[in-house]
Structure 1
Amino acid sequence: MLRKEGQITKEQLDEAVALSKKAGTTLVRALTALDVIEPENIVSFASRQLNLPVISISELMINPETISLVQYDLAKQHMVFPVRVAAKVLTLAMADPTNTDAIEEVHNATQLSIKSVITTEKDIVEAYKKYYKISPEEYQSFFKKIGEESEETGVEIKEIDDIGSLVSEAAEDVEAGDEEEIKDELSADAAPIIKLVNGILTKAIKLKVSDIHIEPYEKSFRVRYRLDGALYVSLNLPLQIKNALVSRLKILASLNIAERRVPQDGRIKLRLGKKQAVDFRVSCLPTLFGESMVLRILDKSNLNVDLGKLGFSPENFAKFNKAIKNPFGLVLVTGPTGSGKTTTLYSAVNALNNVDNKILTAEDPVEFNFAGINQVLVRNEVGMTFAAALKAFLRQDPEIILVGEIRDAETAEIAIKAAMTGHLVFSTLHTNDCPSTVGRIIDIGIPGYMVSSALTMILSQRLMRRICAECKEADPAWDVERDRKKLIEMGFFEDDLKDLKIMKGKGCPACQGKGYKGRVAAYELMEVNESIKQAITAQLPEDQLRKVAMKEGMRTLRQDALSKVRAGITTLDEALKHTVHVKEALPQYLLTPDELTFENGDMIIKEGNTDTTFYQLIQGSLVIKKAGAVVAEISQPGEYFGEMSALMNKPRNATIISKGKSRVKAFPGDKLRETLENYPEIAYKVITSCLFRLNSADRKLAEMAKKLAALQVKPVAGA
């Protein structure tokens, strides 16, 4: 509009636009910085064009209650100032009245209608100084040249070394204040609180912690950091500043500071210096003694997405690399919250991120963004669920899909179908290990044959603390010869004990005296080859599937963790804390039963025979006959049959014949009772198979009885 009215030239406008984009500032500030036009002329022109009044804040008396409606950070962000409130309408002085985002955010914060008026930036800054009591340094920062401003976005903070003095300063401010005000809260905009919050955040970034916990209790208020997976107390704070400190964090996260009854989630963007940009994911939870806050630090500079640095053994690295290079299939990464699943998935898709691949991700939340990858934020409240995102992805012609988590049957079914139709799909599950993951998917409602067809690999992982390299030493608590039996019970093999040295960290300044610095992962990788596919299709029990996988080369989480103990990377305590030792759980007759193949019409069980072998269907279909009539069918892989003779110690009461080609496993009948008593997972499947078959047979017999009754000839009356 300024150019059309002849106020500026096209060249001046282009220069101002380029400067505003480079500096991340408004076009108005760029124009005034270039001395293209006076601020007063811009205000006058905007007033005429938009039909808005011009005011001078310095000539007005502003009610303090009006000031309190708009927090300083929000006002500063959009260069606005609250002038007056009347009839639920807030008059808002603006340097740029076309900034609709500012109007919307102030409306959301105040729940008032907004009436815009225009003034200069200088007038607004003078109002900040007078009413918000900003510091001289803050005041001067508004008058820096645009070129001096940081190009990063977000609130800028500086490193603070002496947090203790800030705590004392905040406490002194509280003690000097009015007693009634102390019971309420210290102002969140008070300089000591701002400095204290900045100190807590910068210290966390400097120490490379993953989470900050702000925790109020009845008689205490503390800050804890999670470093390398372990929580420790960083600060004990005066109880009376808790409301002010929490309010300050809520302001930074754009949360409603007046709402203290329901949980809230937000995000903080900070700049530490001119180069380091850090995000915080904020969760606020009302508790009995105040609001508990947890801040997850998302520092991309600390993110390691190099597959070669994830801590895989050479064998596991080769298998993982092979699985992610497949053109299609489902790759699952499992483990509890905080076990590094997201980092592993990001590393995998980042390794595949090139111009030849279309990559789509559905995440809740999107923790880090990557160039070349289309990332979608899952928002259940508007219907953008994982399942909905997956359905949309299939219409976007992708090669690679990442689903943050499989939570329900619908998501699982779509993911598996996508993997079976030419897409490489990555996802996660919250399960304990690889074999239990298969059972979890089947329990969700996906047939075993579909799971075996889609799955290419399952990776289960845990994060353990890494021994500090600066203070590593032998752990005197362990003596290999003395503790040989105990070590073997923990999962070591005899060969592992040769030249074994168990290490620990003594504690030094480099590791804050903790003996640990950084983390390393323990992995359990199950490559889904033909043997594993057959085991999944047959729905083998978890223990049996584990045995098959170990036979095919899978190393358990405990075994991988102990290998890192042997290498001096982590401590034995960490390995024992994060993994479990899986002992031999199944007897040989259940682990390696005989497998029999039958052709169409072959008799597997004959009515009247006295043998007691019981069976499990692997593949195919069978029919059950009584007195020559078909009474039921067996068609579900994994279903048991033939157990009644062993249970009742009676001859066979039915004949079972192969319908087409079939494969079954045969188990000794004299071991059935032992199986039912000692192996509940198998017992459950045997009993449910039996009950299902009896119900099916009863229905068939009832139908046959009805047909026979209908065919009977009624007697003639009087005969």
Structure 2
Amino acid sequence: MIYFLEIIAILLYNVFMEKLGQILIKTGKIDQQTLENALNEQNKSYRLIGQILIKMGAISENDLINALSKQYDIPVIEDISEIPAECLKILPRKFIMRYGVIPFECNEKKIKIVLSDPLYLDIVKNIEFATGKDVKPYLMNESTLASLINNYFPETIQQSIEKSNITFSEETDTTEIHSTVYDLKSEASSTPAIVITNTILENAIKSDASDIHIEPQKNAIVVRYRIDGVLKDVFHIPKVLIGAVTSRIKLLAGMDITIQRSPQDGALTLKYGDEKEISARVSTLPTLYGEKLVIRIIDRSKVMRGLEELGFSENNTNLIKKYLAYPSGIILVTGPTGSGKTSTLYAGLNHINNQTLNIITVEDPIEYKIKGLNQVQINPKAGLTFASALRSILRQDPNVIMIGEIRDLETAKIAVESALTGHLVLSTLHTNSAVASITRLIDMGIEPYLLADTIRLVIAQRLVRKICDNCKSSYNISEEEKSLLNLENDVMLYKGKGCSKCMNTGYKGRTVISEVLEIDDELKKSILMRKSETEITLLAHNNGMKTLAEDAKEKVIKGITTIDEVSKVVDFKILKTLNEIESKRSISKPEITALEESYGDNVEKERSNMSRTTKRQPSIMIVDDSKTIVVMLKALFESKGFKVYCSYNGKDA
């Protein structure tokens, strides 16, 4: 009798409750015409009116879930930071995946569940009957709920295989499958191979992964995503599918699927959504249990970010923009692999890219194709190296030259010559600090006087993860953290609790930690005098340069990142060291002044000696219409002790 009355109550409620479309009109989300268009579409497709309105772009998922909340009188929950393990055991995994419902809070008497579709409200009674507990439903938008479920039940690949109604035997002998090219192509084109590959790629793009690792292990294939610089296990695939998956990806990347015992490289382009185009680089490596694949995802939309969006401080951003406006000189970006150097170079090029400049880049490889740039791909097999490409570029009337990396002395020399002859040169180096780039180039064989004349700015940087804004919380700083940051007063610090939007890591996105070295007149003197790296660092710091550690400290205090995160890439000991040096300087200022004066006396003595010996110097005149040739010969003869006069035409000579 009770069950019958419940049915009557539900029917009466459905008859008299306000329609979804009317709620959306009342709240100003849509107008009557939009609703009528959606209803006409519903008559053709028989889909839910809310989904039709979302596809039309008339409303968002949040608009829909808020309207459904009013319609069914069910509260909305925007996010769930963490689900206790005991709650995850209440419902079978297949039930959760089928109905899109998951318990997130539970005790001895009550269970709270979240779902995105109120049409499944009848399962509340089923759960109450099965558990003997009261069930309280909440609504969440479909995308957020799907992400939440995927965090706790991530085997989405296996689900896709199950949906395809195709089964695989674990005992299948894959050695015969690979016997011919025909079989390989057939296997790679099979439905499960396509489904699995598409799912791997789509989930990676949705997760903002930079790399996909497909690793064959003894009993399974492990798929891992690199998200914000950290690898995360996503799901496992049955080992029997290794041939199908690798062959499918290799076909898409234009690689030879018959070659399995040698490394290969390939590339592919993906279309995600209506307009978004994403490139990917693929590399294979033969391992003990099969071919390991790494797919590097290159999202072109990300390269259009400005310097501010990368995370540079206002002062550092202004410095970079100042020297990007210079017509000549060298700007270097330094740091280890994966520190975001290329992104900074592209952001700089985007800042100055316009029709009045001829910008040419030399890259290995070309990661992003940018409109307005002339991009050159290095090809050592064809004899096209950084150095050989640069020689050709100088005959192409460039204004700005971007060199992917200064790897050797020859490339470094041409970069310096290019800057001396009126070109702005941007490039990267692998050094630990901004000042170390100067000493590295000198160690390579570049004369200090040439560096002093050409280097304008050096940017050293690291990438760290940002705290997730959705689950950020504050806490009181500990004594250990105060000591590490060299702080005297207590401050509030921040960390992420972990939620569905950050895959329970507490971090979402990355920002740059940087130190920007401006080569002013004092630093030029230090370079000419071959002062040590430490001396130049202290001088630069005294002139206003913030070190990596100081920039990291500032971002920790502002709540952008955490101490744990920046400690991986920055040594905070330098904060105490700098303070100690500053305090010693204030005590022994006369000694410092005397030391500086002695350096000045030495400089004057050198100048005096040079003026006396200049009278006896052999002299030579170089005449050529090529500035490059003149500069090269001038440097050569000066190194041999000649007094050099230059001219670019016979009449002036």
Bin for the TM-score computed over the shorter chain: 0.5 to 0.7
Question: What's 1:396 paired with?
Answer: 396
1:162 positional shift: 4.4
The code of the aligned residue for 1:566 comes to I
* In structure 1, distance between residues paired with 2:592 and 2:379: 45
Deviations 1:27-63 (A, max 9, x none): xxxxxxxxxxxxxxxxxxxxxxxxxxxxxxxxxxxxx
Deviations 1:318-364 (A, max 9, x none): 11111111111100001111111111111111111111111000111
For residue 598 of structure 2, what is the aligned residue in structure 1? 596
- The 2-side partners of 1:514 and 1:442 are apart by 43
CA distance in 2, matches of 1:503, 1:412: 43
Is residue 2:268 matched to residue 1:274?
A: no
Distance 2:502 2:610 in 1: 68
Query: Does the CA contact (< 8 Å) of 1:404 and 1:428 recur in 2?
Result: yes
Q: Call closer, same or farther: CA 1:176–1:265 in 2, change over 3 Å.
A: closer
Aligned-residue CA RMSD (Å):
2.8
Change (3 A) 1:176 1:229: closer
Equivalent residue number for residue 110 of structure 2: none
State the match for 1:565 in structure 2. 556
- The residue that corresponds to 2:407 in the other structure is 407
- Corresponding residue for residue 523 of structure 2: 532
What are structure 2's unaligned runs of at least 5 residues? 1-153, 614-653
Residue 175 of structure 1 aligns with an amino acid whose one-letter code is S
Which residue of 1 is the match for residue 544 of structure 2?
Answer: 553
Rounded Cα–Cα distance in structure 2 between residues aligned with 1:620 and 1:393: 42
Which residue pairs with 2:428 in the alignment?
428
Question: Per-residue deviation at 1:223?
Answer: 0.7
Q: Distance in 2 between matches of 1:594 and 1:177?
A: 79
Which residue of 2 is the match for residue 443 of structure 1? 443
Question: By how many angstroms is 1:301 displaced?
Answer: 2.3
Identify the residue that residue 230 of structure 1 maps to in structure 2. Answer: 230
Q: Is the contact made by 1:174 and 1:182 (CA closer than 8 Å) also made in structure 2?
A: no
- How far does residue 369 in structure 1 lie from its aligned partner after superposition? 1.1
Match runs of 1:90-239 below 5 Å: 162-168=156-162, 173-175=167-169, 178-179=172-173, 187-239=187-239
Post-superposition shift, 1:534?
1.2
CA apart distance, 1:177: 7.8
Q: What residue is the counterpart of 1:369 in the other structure?
A: 369
For 2:565, the equivalent position in structure 1 comes to 574
Structure 2 distance, partners of 1:304, 1:492, is: 37
Q: Give 1:17's aligned residue.
A: none
Distance 1:299 1:429 in 2: 24
Query: Are residue 303 (structure 1) and residue 297 (structure 2) matched?
Result: no
Tell me the residue number matched to 2:345.
345
User: Aligned in 2, Cα 1:163/1:501: closer, same or farther, shift over 3 Å?
Assistant: same
Report the CA distance between 1:403 and its aligned residue: 0.4
Report the secondary structure of 2:567's partner residue.
helix
- Residue 208 to residue 178, structure 1, CA distance change in 2 (3 Å): closer
**Percent identity among equivalent residues?**
39
CA change 1:266–1:620 in 2 (3 A) is: farther
- Give 2:329's aligned amino acid: G
For the residues of structure 2 that align with 1:598 and 1:536, how far apart are their CA atoms?
A: 14
1:466-481 pair list within 5 angstroms: 466-475=466-475, 479-480=476-477
Q: Which residue of 1 aligns with 2:111?
A: none
**Structure 1 residue 596 displacement after superposition:** 3.5
- Are 1:584 and 2:574 counterparts? no
Deviations 1:487-526 (A, max 9, x none): 35424343xx45x211001111221211111111111100
Mapped to 2, the partners of 1:161 and 1:178 lie a distance apart of 22
CA–CA separation in structure 1 for the residues paired with 2:414 and 2:509: 37
Q: Name the structure 1 match of 2:30.
A: none
Would the alpha carbon gap of residues 542 and 278 (structure 1) be closer, same or farther in structure 2, given more than 3 Å must change? same
Task: Tell me how far 1:218 sits from its aligned partner.
Answer: 3.1
Tell me which amino acid in the other structure corresponds to 1:596. Answer: S
Which deviations, in whole Å up to 9, do the C-alpha atoms of 1:363-422 show, x marking residues without a partner? Answer: 111111111111111111111111111111111111111000000000001001111111
Query: How many residues are aligned here?
Result: 443
Which of 498, 503, 508 is the equivalent residue of 1:512? 503
- Taking the aligned partners of 1:170 and 1:386, their CA distance within structure 2 comes to 49
SS of the equivalent of 1:344 reads helix
- Partners of 1:542 and 1:598 in 2: CA distance: 19
Query: Relative to structure 1, is the Cα distance of residues 509 and 180 closer, same or farther in structure 2, using a 3 angstrom cutoff?
Result: closer
Distance 1:161-1:447 versus aligned 2 partners, 3 A rule: same
**What is the rounded CA distance, in whole Å, between the counterparts of 1:490 and 1:463 in structure 2?**
20
- Select between 216-225 and 565-574 the one with higher mean Cα deviation: 216-225
Q: Measure, in 1, the Cα distance between the counterparts of 2:509 and 2:546.
A: 24
**C-alpha distance in 2 between matches for 1:387 and 1:184:** 43
User: Partners of 1:619 and 1:488 in 2: how far apart?
Assistant: 46
SS of 1:561's partner is helix
Change in Cα spacing, 1:418 to 1:659, as seen in structure 2 (3 Å) is closer
Give me the TM-score of the superposition, normalised by structure 1: 0.58
Give the C-alpha shift of residue 242 in structure 1: 1.4
Q: Distance in 2 between matches of 1:328 and 1:180?
A: 60
Distance between the aligned counterparts of 2:432 and 2:321, measured in 1?
23
Contact 2:360 2:402 in 1 (8 A): yes
Determine the C-alpha separation between the residues in 1 that align with 2:161 and 2:506. 28
The answer to whether the Cα contact below 8 Å between 2:219 and 2:238 also exists between their aligned partners in 1 is no
Q: Which amino acid aligns with 2:439?
A: G
223 and 182 in structure 1: CA distance in 2 versus 1, 3 angstrom threshold: farther
Q: Does 1:487 align with 2:487?
A: no
Secondary structure of 2:504's counterpart equals coil
1:256-295 to structure 2, matched below 5 A, reads: 256-295=256-295
AA aligned to 2:158 is G
Change (3 A) 1:531 1:180: closer
- Equivalent-residue separation in structure 2 for 1:390 and 1:543 (angstroms): 33
Cα distance per residue 1:403-456 (max 9 Å; x no partner): 000000000010011111111100001111101111111111111111111100
Kindly indicate which of the two structures has a greater share of residues assigned to helix: 2
Whole-Å Cα distance in 1 between the matches of residues 409 and 342 of structure 2? 22
Matched-pair contact (CA < 8 Å) for 1:535–1:545? yes
Change (3 A) 1:176 1:539: closer
Q: CA deviation at 1:163?
A: 2.8
Where does residue 245 of structure 1 map in the other structure? 245
The structure number with the bigger radius of gyration is 1
Distance 1:442 1:189, change over 3 A: same
The DSSP-based 3-state class of the residue aligned with 2:209 is coil
- Letter of the 1:321 partner, please give it: K
Q: 1:206 to 1:619 in 2, by over 3 A?
A: farther
Question: Contact (CA 8 Å) 1:228, 1:517: kept in 2 or not?
Answer: yes
Aligned with 2:257: secondary structure? coil
Helix, strand or coil at the partner of 2:577: coil
What SS does structure 2 have at the residue aligned with 1:578?
Answer: coil
Deviations 1:246-282 (A, max 9, x none): 1111111111111122221110112224322111011
Q: Report the AA paired with residue 598 of structure 2.
A: L
- C-alpha separation in 2, matches of 1:491 and 1:447: 38
Structure 2 Cα separation of the partners of residues 659 and 180 of structure 1: 78
The residue type paired with residue 549 of structure 2 is R
The answer as to whether partners of 1:598 and 1:661 remain within 8 angstroms in 2 is no
Distance 1:285 1:171 in 2: 32
For 2:416, the equivalent position in structure 1 comes to 416
Q: What is the letter of the counterpart of residue 281 of structure 2?
A: R
How far the C-alpha of 1:170 sits from its partner, in A, is 8.6
**Native 8 Å contact 1:391 1:414 kept in 2:** yes
For residues 509 and 488 of structure 1, the distance between their equivalents in structure 2, rounded to whole angstroms, comes to 31
Distance 1:170 1:448 in 2: 67
Counterpart of 2:514 in 1: which secondary structure?
strand
